[in-house]
């Protein structure tokens, strides 16, 4: 508990009144000193009997580096208060301070800087009495996680994945089985548009065959220590490209794995894994068996597709088609000036 700037001013006035009272009589004491002391005493009692503040915030939707998110903060306090929000490394808060009259809500913007899970909070709440003379600061340690996905680059060199996409996109359909209602996760290629047009309320119908064997694409990602961000960005970019083609994809990284799937929910699970994974190896020879193998290290970031290794930079560059492929053992080297 301490005096605010206003409280210090009132105390200075009270001290001056005391000095004037000593020199010129007690009437000055009654007029200024007593009300000042009473106001300070009331403020001290209010702050002493305060309720501990409670801070609640909404968890923003995950995003990518460079994006911003709005954080909604609710503060429960029986006194007026000032609030200051802190953020962990990897985030930058834009105007995280607020001045609230008791219980209140406010919002601020946070810029996403680095991949990973970062903390919103803790918060410092400074409660004041109603006259703003006495205050007390409380450190509310509760935090809220904020997930930042790895950077996703658009794949420009589509020829590097052409054979892989064609193979994985081929289905062995023996005979027509039945029509059924569309459900999340079904391939858009299976929608029977003619039958769907006859359905009420725009419902979609899917053609189901007696036998289907649609191969999925396995992506394995590994990296040397200190290169997890590069690995995660390359793996997320390739996975996003294949999922955009409506293909089945599974991802294995040092931090875990996501089983075969497709669609937006599956994409979010892949991005979450790659946002949280660190550097390391996945073990065994899974990288040798994978259709796509991503590796990041001191020599750079490479993507091996069906035995042919590509520099990741060449897959996302505009002239990727002219300079993408390198031999399976011809790993690029980083040159320092």
DSSP string, 207-239: EEES------EEEEEEE-TT-HHHHHHHHHHHH
Please calculate the CA angle 169-174-179 and round it to the nearest 5 degrees: 85
The alpha carbons of the chain give a radius of gyration, in whole angstroms, of 31
pLDDT, residue 173, reads 44
Q: What is the pLDDT along the chain (337 residues), one digit of tens a residue?
A: 889 888 888 888 888 777 777 766 665 566 677 788 888 898 899 989 999 999 999 999 999 999 999 999 999 999 999 999 999 999 999 999 999 987 789 999 999 999 999 999 999 999 999 999 999 999 999 999 999 999 999 999 888 888 776 655 544 444 455 677 877 767 777 787 777 777 777 788 777 654 444 567 999 999 999 999 999 999 999 999 999 988 899 999 999 999 999 999 999 999 999 999 999 999 878 888 899 999 999 999 999 998 899 999 999 975 434 433 333 333 332 322 2
- CA–CA separation, 63 and 82 (whole Å): 29
Which two structure tokens, joined as six digits, stand for 317? 């560059």
Structure-token match 């490394």, residue found? 89
pLDDT, residue 177, reads 52
Whole-prediction pTM: 0.76
- CA–CA separation, 279 and 223 (whole Å): 5
CB atoms within 10 A of CB 332: 16
- CA–CA separation, 113 and 264 (whole Å): 23
CB-based contact 87:96 (threshold 8 Å)? yes
pLDDT, residue 205, reads 79
pLDDT, residue 57, reads 95
pLDDT, residue 33, reads 75
Widest CA span of the chain, in angstroms?
110
pLDDT, residue 29, reads 62
pLDDT, residue 16, reads 78
pLDDT, residue 322, reads 40
pLDDT, residue 17, reads 75
pLDDT, residue 23, reads 65
pLDDT, residue 37, reads 84
For residue 47, give the nearest of 73, 77, 75, 74 by alpha carbon: 77
pLDDT, residue 215, reads 61
């Amino acid at each position: 508990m301490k005096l605010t700037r206003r409280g210090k001013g009132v105390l200075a006035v009270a001290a001056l009144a005391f000095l004037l009272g000593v020199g010129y009589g007690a009437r000055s004491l009654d007029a200024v000193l007593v009300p000042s002391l009473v106001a300070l005493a009331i403020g001290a009692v209010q702050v002493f009997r305060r309720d501990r503040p409670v801070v609640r915030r909404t968890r923003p939707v995950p995003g990518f580096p460079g994006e911003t998110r709005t954080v909604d903060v609710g503060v429960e306090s029986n006194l007026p208060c000032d609030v200051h929000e802190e953020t962990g490394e990897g985030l930058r808060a834009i105007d995280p301070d607020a001045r609230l009259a008791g219980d209140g809500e406010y919002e601020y913007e946070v810029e996403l800087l680095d991949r990973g899970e970062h903390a919103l909070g803790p918060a410092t709440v400074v409660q004041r009495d109603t006259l703003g003379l006495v205050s007390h600061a409380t450190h509310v340690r509760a935090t809220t996680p904020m997930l930042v996905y790895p950077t996703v680059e658009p794949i420009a060199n589509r020829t590097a994945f052409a054979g892989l996409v064609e193979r994985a996109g081929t289905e062995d359909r023996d005979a027509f089985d039945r029509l059924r209602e569309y459900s999340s996760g079904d391939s858009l290629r299976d929608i029977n548009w003619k039958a769907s047009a006859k359905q009420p309320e725009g419902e979609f119908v899917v053609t189901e065959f007696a036998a289907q064997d649609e191969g999925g694409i396995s992506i394995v990602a590994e990296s040397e220590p200190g290169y997890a961000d590069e690995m995660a960005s390359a793996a997320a970019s390739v996975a996003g490209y294949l999922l955009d083609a409506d293909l089945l994809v599974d991802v294995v990284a040092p931090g875990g794995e996501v089983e075969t799937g497709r669609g937006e929910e599956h994409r979010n699970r892949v991005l979450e894994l790659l946002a949280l994974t660190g550097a390391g190896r996945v073990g065994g020879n899974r990288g040798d068996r994978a259709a796509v193998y991503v590796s990041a290290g001191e020599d750079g970031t490479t993507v091996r597709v069906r035995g042919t290794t590509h520099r990741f930079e060449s897959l996302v560059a505009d002239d990727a088609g002219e300079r993408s492929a390198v031999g399976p053992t011809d790993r690029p080297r980083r040159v320092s000036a």
